[in-house]
Chain A
């Protein structure tokens, strides 16, 4: 039987800080650059693996309270850190794998991103680093 995923309770940890309750969206992009190695005699383009170029994007509600979003993120701009994401909170398993991006760089942050009558949110993109998947 086909299964589908409905993520309502994922776990999002940025620099060891659990920000799951401020997060509304998260995307991991596991990417290994394709290097073309097509040569004379080939009838189709071919590629080989280059460097990994991973990234994680998250959307968080902004909060300026102590040890909340702004306090967690502001000092990370221009540095590298580690992010851990899981489809659901709870123990890591084959059906609830953990994805750890180590050495991810945060280039920019929008401390104020507000519109009248709306909750303020921030979109962050962490790039680079090594992605590891754990099932236990």
Chain B
């Protein structure tokens, strides 16, 4: 699982899906992508309703 870091590859934070033949090592070493987990959506839990 790779995550986009540089906007030159797409939206930062999105999962990177390489096309066939992509040199992953080069992208990792130059910081274009990372092996971090993708960002979770920014859902905010609703506050519990007090009765």
Contact = CB atoms under 8 A, between A and B. Distances in A.
Interface of A: 15-19, 66-67, 71-72, 74-76, 79-82, 84, 100, 102-104, 129
A101 B20 CA distance: 10
Contacts of A84: 19
A103 B9 CA distance: 19
Contacts of B23: 15, 75-76, 79-81
Interface in B2-51: 5-6, 8-9, 16, 18-23, 25-27, 29-32
A16 B23 CA distance: 9
26 contacts: A15-B26, A16-B9, A16-B32, A17-B6, A17-B8, A17-B9, A17-B27, A17-B32, A18-B8, A19-B8, A67-B8, A67-B30, A71-B30, A71-B32, A72-B26, A72-B30, A75-B29, A76-B23, A80-B21, A80-B23, A81-B26, A82-B19, A82-B21, A102-B21, A103-B21, A104-B21
Interface residues of B, number: 18
Nearest to A76: B26
Given A67-B31, A72-B30, A16 B25 contact: no
DSSP majority for the B interface?
loop
Contact of B31 (A66, A74, A81): A66
Interface of B: 5-6, 8-9, 16, 18-23, 25-27, 29-32
B5 to A, nearest CB: 8
Nearest to A74: B30
